Chain A
């Protein structure tokens, strides 16, 4: 295989008409809405799409071949990852490479989630509890050990947060600032599921504890909805009516023993990882994008749990070891902050759509379409996760 030397762009984005806890619409219906909206956004038709990629298959999402059959697509490139929210970078990077290699011209990245109290309750086949990976010989990827009572990503991540809080002296008030900050951002986003539910330090502390230091607002939402991102080569993008956004840089998940527990970070000493001082990593995503960390106008973090934000800020060097709670307290997370974070409200308050909703937001920010939550002059936006993958999108 040989790659064409072309830039790849996000040319269109779309979502289901609504995000919500129980929308009364099937995964296929939601995904068709998001796909149709994304095509309308960029002015392409179904016949232009020759690639489809997804992570969230049936029963709570839609498998790739169901989707091409139902939508009447004829695809020469398909990809389906694993029904976890960790593939946003991977799907975008792989679709970009597929376009560069000539395997496809236009790839739609489509992802749908439905939850057990939403449409998924009609779909059967949902007998599993927590994540089945918690029963593997190695435990779950979030640090679950189902036979020890830590059988959900939430309980497992509460252990990460507990270790962090004891090691660096962070408090429940520090944890609360994350959920509160993203809730305030959500109030400016009409799509955010919790846009009308204000959150304060007082109301946060009144919530019952679920596990370790985590209260309800430290957990992302379980919800229904779909997203679609349409990718194409830069020359193709130039012919479209919308302003494309460049996929400027990417780096993959970093996978090793030290990084086994996804929502921790290297050096914290959770799972099988060594407990060490935080060692600076070289993040190639900046080299590829030709920008530095200081050029980033807005940061988007995989916030399935509040403490993920601490891990990510430190791992990517936005602050030093143990400094994330103070960084957040002094700088804030809102659109007016020196570095706005999750202006859509994040997985905690817009909804858990695997991070693809953050990518949709990044595209809209770079096109200047975000109204009251617009980051002024946004040119470089970064997607990051605690487990080390990243994307940089530029105008």
Chain B
């Protein structure tokens, strides 16, 4: 699987990284998108968790997953009404993305906030680096994706 590009620094709230989830965040900081795969039934799961939702198995390894997908839905957040850390970052585009291997993952899309990508827009995973050496998943428009401004976005 291809390495993710580092496309900037993460300025929002720090992810809560704990021993069971550390490989995910550490992997992103090294440009790898890896998730837990059940050693019993092979299901790759998201969100992170100690148990396979499909079979209940505890065993897992970490596996690289697809890094391309298409936008399921994207919104432009114009006002930071929650954590003030976001005040300097809005407007920002955030999305859920249908990855080519069937998972649906959340992340910002680094693009023009007046033109949040519509459903089906091809995107590619990238990461924003945190101060602690971890990474936060985000997306960039795939080569050739052009998005028209959205009315009232």
Residue of A nearest to B151 (CB): A172
The complex places the Cα of A304 from the Cα of B1 at a distance, in Å, of 42
Give A165 Cβ to nearest chain B Cβ, in Å: 9
List residues 206-254 of chain A with CB under 8 A from any CB of chain B. Answer: 208-213
Number of interface residues of A (CB under 8 A): 40
A158 close to B (CB within 8 Å): yes
Give B75 Cβ to nearest chain A Cβ, in Å: 3
With beta carbons under 8 angstroms apart, the residue of B108, B116, B152, B153 that contacts A149 is: B108
A115 close to B (CB within 8 Å): no
| B79 & A151 in contact (Cβ 8 Å cutoff) | no
Give B127 Cβ to nearest chain A Cβ, in Å: 12
The A contact surface, by secondary structure, is: mixed
| A163 & B72 in contact (Cβ 8 Å cutoff) | yes
Residues of A within 8 A of B78 (CB): 208-211
Given contacts A130-B82, A146-B82, A272-B46, contact A162 B73 (CB under 8 A): yes
Interface flags, A147-188, vs B, CB<8A=1, else 0:
111111011001110110011000010000000000000000
| B47 & A138 in contact (Cβ 8 Å cutoff) | yes
Given contacts A129-B84, A130-B83, A272-B46, contact A159 B96 (CB under 8 A): yes
B136 close to A (CB within 8 Å): yes
Residues of B within 8 A of A148 (CB): 12, 94, 106-108, 136-138
List residues 63-102 of chain B with CB under 8 A from any CB of chain A. Answer: 72-79, 81-84, 86, 89-90, 92, 94-96
Residues of B within 8 A of A211 (CB): 75-79
B49 close to A (CB within 8 Å): yes
Give A149 Cβ to nearest chain B Cβ, in Å: 5
| B81 & A147 in contact (Cβ 8 Å cutoff) | no
Give B89 Cβ to nearest chain A Cβ, in Å: 7
With beta carbons under 8 angstroms apart, the residue of B13, B15, B53, B89 that contacts A257 is: B53
The complex places the Cα of A208 from the Cα of B138 at a distance, in Å, of 26
| A146 & B13 in contact (Cβ 8 Å cutoff) | yes
The complex places the Cα of A211 from the Cα of B83 at a distance, in Å, of 15
Number of interface residues of B (CB under 8 A): 43
The B contact surface, by secondary structure, is: loop
With beta carbons under 8 angstroms apart, the residue of A139, A151, A154 that contacts B86 is: A151
Given contacts A149-B108, A152-B82, A166-B118, contact A137 B75 (CB under 8 A): no
With beta carbons under 8 angstroms apart, the residue of A136, A138, A270 that contacts B73 is: A270
| B94 & A145 in contact (Cβ 8 Å cutoff) | yes
The complex places the Cα of A205 from the Cα of B49 at a distance, in Å, of 42
B41 close to A (CB within 8 Å): no
B55 close to A (CB within 8 Å): no
Residue of B nearest to A129 (CB): B83
| B152 & A213 in contact (Cβ 8 Å cutoff) | yes
| A212 & B76 in contact (Cβ 8 Å cutoff) | yes
B119 close to A (CB within 8 Å): yes
The complex places the Cα of A163 from the Cα of B75 at a distance, in Å, of 9
Given contacts A147-B12, A148-B12, A166-B118, contact A159 B48 (CB under 8 A): no
A269 close to B (CB within 8 Å): yes
The complex places the Cα of A240 from the Cα of B99 at a distance, in Å, of 61
B14 close to A (CB within 8 Å): yes
Chain A residues within 8 Å of B, Cβ to Cβ: 129-131, 134-139, 145-152, 154-155, 158-160, 162-163, 166-167, 172, 205, 208-213, 257, 269-272, 275
Top-7 shortest CB links A-B: A130-B82, A212-B75, A163-B73, A151-B82, A129-B83, A152-B82, A145-B106
9 contacts between A and B (CB under 8 A): A129-B84, A150-B106, A159-B73, A160-B73, A163-B119, A166-B118, A212-B77, A270-B73, A272-B104
Q: Apart from A135-B16, A149-B12, A159-B75, what are 5 other A-B pairs with CB-CB below 8 Å?
A: A139-B106, A146-B12, A152-B81, A212-B153, A257-B53
